[in-house]
Amino acid sequence: MLLITRRNGERVRVAEASLVAGKVVPAAPARRRGPAASYEELARVSARSWQPVESERLGAWELRAASGFTRRANSVLPAGDPGLPLDEALTVVRRWYGERGLPAYVQTATGAEGTQELLCAELEERGWTREVTAELWVGGLAPVADQGDAGAVVLSREADEAWLARYQRKGVSDVALAVLGSGPSVWFATVPGVEGEPPAAIGRCVVDGRWAGFGAVEVDPAQRRRGLATAVMAALAGRALEEGASAAWLQVEADNSGARALYAGTGFAAHHSYHHYRSV
């Protein structure tokens, strides 16, 4: 049997006798996937935008922990060789997270040159379970700034009580605030709501060299389809342009059809998929 990995990370097995011809499919042309970028560059940029409060190196792997606040901040980023045979490395990973009372996760990626299709297969063969798959999308920054009316958006360097009141993750701890505030140049956007009520919309952006990474774009359900998310992103993009950025990235889960439509309409396109595998 042959194991074939599709661009979305799904793996299928086919009988070798049924194979007539095969070839490696090249990466999508730049006009379809936005700014030219390697997986390695985007992995580094996205990691810097959402930093753990504790980390440790295992060869080229980074073990990250933040008291369980999001899988991204509490998973292994395998950026190369761990310096040990895989089974030994995974034993170290499970022990490290167990000492912190956390489940062991490994974040992998598929669908772009330099990603980790083989590691995904190795984890699955060892019984690790893929819990979440999402995609990292890239696009030009200037078109985002031109899309909406940013006049009502307030920008801040900190996530204040009003911003947190709209944030989907309730009961935000000091650790969560540290993760939210991490990154080279972090901005929070707020569209004020009715007096005494949470904001109508919020968003977050991290500027890192030529890249601006967007996240936590959330809108009051009663005020959706009014262009508020677009306005939030436009305001953040404008500030990122002022700081010298030219390209944008964001992460979106595969089943979030509303967000995917919004981002596609702003010129974003998928670059690669990433997955979180949990130890049995």
Residues across the chain: 280
**Least confident span in 1-5, 14-18, 96-100, 188-192:** 1-5
Mean pLDDT of the chain: 89
pLDDT at 9: 41
pLDDT of 69 higher than 90: yes
pLDDT at 17: 63
State how far the Cα of 234 lies from the Cα of 240, in Å rounded to an integer: 10
Alpha carbon distances (Å) from 1 to 14, 16, 119, 124, 278: 6, 5, 18, 16, 26
The average pLDDT across 43-55 equals: 97
Pull the structure tokens for residue 24.
């490696």
User: How much of the chain, in percent, has pLDDT values that exceed 90?
Assistant: 74
Report the helix count and the strand count for the chain, using DSSP H and E.
Answer: 9, 13
State how far the Cα of 235 lies from the Cα of 49, in Å rounded to an integer: 18
Buried b (16+ CB within 10 A) or exposed e, 211-239: bbbbbbbbbbeebeeebbbbbbbbbbbbb
Q: What is the pTM of this model?
A: 0.85
> Is residue 190 within 8 Å of residue 158, measured between CB atoms?
no
Pull the structure tokens for residue 260.
């995917």
Could you report the per-residue pLDDT of 214-251, keeping only the tens digit for each?
999 999 999 888 999 999 999 999 999 999 999 999 99
The average pLDDT across 170-175 equals: 84
Pull the structure tokens for residue 46.
């996205």
Query: Residue 242, class by beta-carbon neighbours within 10 Å (0-12 exposed, 13-18 middle, 19+ buried)?
Result: exposed
Q: What residue type is assigned to position 145 of the chain?
A: A
Which domains can be identified in the chain, with CATH numbers?
140-273 (3.40.630.30)
> Is residue 11 within 8 Å of residue 5, measured between CB atoms?
yes
Largest Cα separation within the chain, whole Å, is: 68
User: How much of the chain, in percent, has pLDDT values that exceed 70?
Assistant: 87
Three-state DSSP at 81 gives coil
State how far the Cα of 121 lies from the Cα of 110, in Å rounded to an integer: 11
